[in-house]
């Protein structure tokens, strides 16, 4: 059965001083708990939507959701907790030639697994479920803060966002420890020709040769990275890191970084002391480029997005567009006026569980639904009404530069 959606796009316009707002254009529906939206980079114009229970579905360029999933590994995926399940999906840069892609999921024991699969030889819309090859198995101390995101960088290496493993507060201080893979951004060499199984360590990883350090680590001090993305123009890295009780943050790493940055958790939550709550030492830690508070507008967990480099919405060019899981608010940020300007581009109307890109750089938002009715939307720029809001109702934060442009 094919799912075809015929809905009108939203007409709600909301924007800031930059004169840009976002409209949501429905593309497809019929998803259940989507966790990742991405493309294969093979020129097919298809989108791939991973669902928490273990399926990957294909949306054709015409907006049809194919009845048969691209991959169904539901029998080996454990999804008892909202933060467990099939969480990450990334296609090898050479997918058009080798057919390899990578998934991150929690297994029936609750461990975080990265595995490589291959498309079937006879059908480009079906993966071979027997082609699984193990890459990484990371035991998890609790059901939260697992491996949520996989993405290939411009350098061809696989970047892995690994949460601190829980429980809340990082009581064992693993996120800033060099001997643990929790609370880290990992950088792995998974080139199939060199590593038929498992992975290798890129020789320029920052902790290669450091005694007792895990050489897979590229960056540390992360709590629960919800998404990471590379700017298509220049290669800068943006990391959306879900906060504890008070602050959500976005970290920025320039393209020429040699790695090894400590983004502060659990000493810091955003720009603020966490452990200890007063008088912490932020030295040696890289503070985020922006933060926003939880609960003021119903926000609870940042959903990372992308710097817009598409062609359909030129007014969004250069904006880092991201969302929040609970409020559904879509925000935009970009450097300027001595800091990063942050604006609400669209108030929330539904929970956003994932943002994704297609091959041409257009951005999509997936609705979180438990009844199989989730809608996938394309984000489109529309002229704003001139209404401006700096992200929260009370107080001001100097780290946010809401200055006139």
Q: Does CATH number 2.120.10.30 belong to domain 20-383?
A: yes
What's the pTM value of the predicted model, to 2 decimals?
0.92
Q: Cα(93)–Cα(105) distance, rounded to whole angstroms?
A: 21
pLDDT tens-digit series, residues 64-91 = 999 999 999 999 999 999 999 999 999 9
Where are the chain's structural domains?
20-383
Cα dihedral 380→386→392→393 (10° resolution): -140
pLDDT of the chain, 405 residues: tens digit per residue: 333 332 323 333 344 555 789 999 999 999 999 999 999 999 999 999 999 999 999 999 999 999 999 999 999 999 999 999 999 999 999 999 999 999 999 999 999 999 999 999 999 999 999 999 999 999 999 999 999 999 999 999 999 999 999 999 999 999 999 999 999 999 999 999 999 999 999 999 999 999 999 999 999 999 999 899 999 999 999 999 999 999 999 999 999 999 999 999 999 999 999 999 999 999 999 999 999 999 888 999 999 999 999 999 999 999 999 999 999 999 999 988 678 989 999 999 899 999 999 999 999 999 999 899 999 999 999 987 654 444 432 222 323 333 433
Question: What would the two tokens of residue 77 be?
Answer: 């995926």
pLDDT at 297: 86
Q: Give the C-alpha separation, 142 to 111, whole Å.
A: 9
What pLDDT, on the 0 to 100 scale, is given for residue 339?
A: 85
State both tokens at 58.
């294909």
H or E segment and range at residue 109: none
Place of tokens 């193990």: 134
């Amino acid at each position: 059965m094919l799912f075809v959606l015929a809905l009108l796009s939203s007409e709600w316009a909301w924007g800031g001083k930059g004169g840009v707002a976002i409209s949501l254009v429905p593309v497809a529906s019929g998803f259940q708990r989507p966790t990742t939206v991405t493309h294969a980079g093979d020129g097919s114009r298809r989108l791939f939507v991973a669902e928490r229970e273990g399926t990957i579905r294909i949306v054709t360029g015409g907006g049809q959701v194919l009845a048969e999933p691209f991959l169904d590994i539901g029998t080996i995926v454990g999804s008892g907790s909202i933060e467990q399940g099939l969480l990450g999906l990334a296609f090898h840069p050479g997918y058009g030639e080798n057919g390899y892609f990578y998934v991150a999921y929690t297994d029936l024991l609750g461990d975080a697994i990265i595995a490589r699969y291959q498309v079937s030889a006879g059908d480009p819309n079906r993966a071979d479920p027997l082609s699984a090859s193990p890459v990484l198995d990371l035991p998890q101390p609790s059901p939260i803060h697992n491996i949520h995101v996989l993405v290939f960088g411009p350098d061809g290496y696989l970047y892995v966002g690994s949460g601190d493993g829980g429980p809340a507060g990082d009581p064992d201080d693993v996120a800033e420890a060099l001997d643990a893979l929790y609370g880290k951004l990992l950088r792995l060499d998974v080139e199939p020709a060199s590593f038929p199984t498992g992975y290798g360590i890129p020789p320029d990883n920052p902790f290669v040769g450091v005694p007792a350090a895990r050489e897979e680590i590229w960056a540390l001090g992360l709590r629960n990275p919800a998404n990471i993305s590379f700017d298509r123009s220049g290669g800068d890295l943006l990391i959306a890191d879900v906060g504890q009780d008070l602050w959500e943050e976005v970290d920025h790493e320039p393209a020429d970084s040699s790695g090894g940055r400590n983004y502060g958790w659990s000493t810091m939550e955003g720009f603020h002391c966490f452990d200890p709550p007063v008088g912490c030492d932020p030295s040696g830690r890289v503070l985020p480029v922006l933060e926003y508070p939880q609960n003021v507008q119903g926000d609870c967990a940042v959903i990372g997005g992308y710097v817009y480099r598409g062609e359909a919405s030129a007014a969004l060019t250069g904006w880092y567009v991201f969302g929040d899981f609970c409020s559904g608010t879509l925000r935009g940020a970009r450097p300027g006026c001595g800091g990063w300007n942050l604006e609400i581009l669209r108030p929330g109307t539904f929970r956003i569980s994932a943002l994704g890109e297609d091959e041409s750089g257009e951005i999509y938002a997936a609705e979180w639904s438990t009844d199989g009715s989730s809608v996938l939307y394309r984000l489109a720029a529309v002229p704003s009404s001139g209404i401006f809001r700096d992200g929260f109702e009370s107080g001001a934060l100097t780290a946010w530069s809401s200055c006139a442009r």
